[in-house]
Amino acid sequence: MIMNGKKGVILGVANSKSIAYGIAKQCAEQGAQIAFTYLNESLKKRVEPIAAEFGSENLVYPCDVSNPQEIKDLMVSLEKDMGKIDFIVHSIAFAPKDGLTGRFYDIPKASFDIAMDVSVYSLIEVVRELKPIMSDNCSVLTLSYYGGVKYIPNYNLMGVAKAALEMTTKYLAEDLGVDGIRVNAISAGPIKTLAAAGIGEFRFMLKWNEAHSPLKRNITTTDVGNSGMYLLSDLSSGVTGEVHYVDGGYNIMGMPAVSFNEEGKQTIAWDGNK
């Protein structure tokens, strides 16, 4: 198995529909031992059954990344229970509701600061605090979205946060490369997750991506999980600083595909009412 003997931690699993769950599943199937974190007691009840599914019921830890002490405590717990770790998955993002609605220039500074702290700086802090227990060829993976590169309706503040996250990935990759540590990001297409529920008109977004991506389908958590497993394993030993798209090819499209009607006139190959 590709990840036999590998040990790592996944931060941000919310439920069995989350992207982080898809990554955990594919890594576990390839032999990885995985620890999980939870934000609060409410989410702990969701994470514990997932950890048990992968034989990690004794590897579940609290970690609110907005609390620096909890990240430090996580390192101590991981070192005690697992020793060195070989991978980290950072699947954490948050923006207050007023950062995802209304006009962009009305976003309060306090909301901007919260989004950047939780969604971006947390990656830096997690890497810094866990670095003492990282193996010589540790792989770090975070999750982005196309809204950090191009304008996406209703994504607003999270788009700015994802842009910052992608550049953070590149700077960390250069900084940690000398230590043998790789840092990459996956930019996944839209998936029905708990986080996606906060984005307005998300069903329309799914239809649009399905119609206009080259593969003509929406992606699944298994699609992302397979790519995540690759980036966390030794198969990608020469890859770092990359933003790997798993979106059915949507990111390559410059405009919607067109077709011709019986009169020979061009028509957009999608009906939003379908």
* Model confidence pLDDT, tens digit, residues 213-272: 999 999 999 999 999 999 999 999 999 999 999 999 999 999 877 666 666 665 555 555
Residue 191's pLDDT is what?
87
Residue closest to 227 by CA, chosen among 17, 27, 53, 35: 27
Residue 268's pLDDT is what?
57
Count of structural domains within the chain: 1
Strand partners, 268: 258
Strand partners, 185: 142, 243
104 or 194, which is more confident:
104
Mean confidence (pLDDT) of the chain: 92
Residue 209 lies in a domain: yes
Whichever domain contains 209, its CATH number is 3.40.50.720
Spatial contact of 252 and 238, defined as CB atoms under 8 Å apart: no
* Predicted confidence band of residue 22 (pLDDT cuts 50, 70, 90): very high
Is the pLDDT reported for residue 168 higher than 60?
A: yes
Share of the chain above pLDDT 90, in %: 82
Residue 273's pLDDT is what?
54
Residue 253 lies in a domain: yes
Mean pLDDT of 124-144: 98
Residue 266's pLDDT is what?
54
Residue 273 lies in a domain: no
Spatial contact of 155 and 196, defined as CB atoms under 8 Å apart: no
Is the pLDDT reported for residue 200 higher than 60?
A: no
Residue closest to 124 by CA, chosen among 176, 160, 177: 176
Catalytic residue list contains 38:
no
Residue 165's pLDDT is what?
98
> Could you tell me the residue range of the domain that residue 22 belongs to?
7-268
Residue 2 lies in a domain: no
Q: How far is C-alpha 54 from the geometric centre of its chain's CA atoms?
A: 20
Residue 274 lies in a domain: no
Taking the whole predicted model, whether its pTM rises above 0.75 is answered as: yes
Catalytic residue list contains 230:
no
145, 146, 230, 250: the catalytic one is 145
38, 61, 146, 155: the catalytic one is 155
Residue 8's pLDDT is what?
98
| 198 residue type, one letter | G
Mean pLDDT of 92-101: 93
Q: Tens digits of per-residue pLDDT, 43-70?
A: 999 999 999 999 999 999 999 999 999 9
Residue 64 lies in a domain: yes
Give 105's DSSP letter: G
Q: How far is C-alpha 238 from the geometric centre of its chain's CA atoms?
A: 21
Residue 1 lies in a domain: no
Residue closest to 181 by CA, chosen among 74, 91, 84: 84
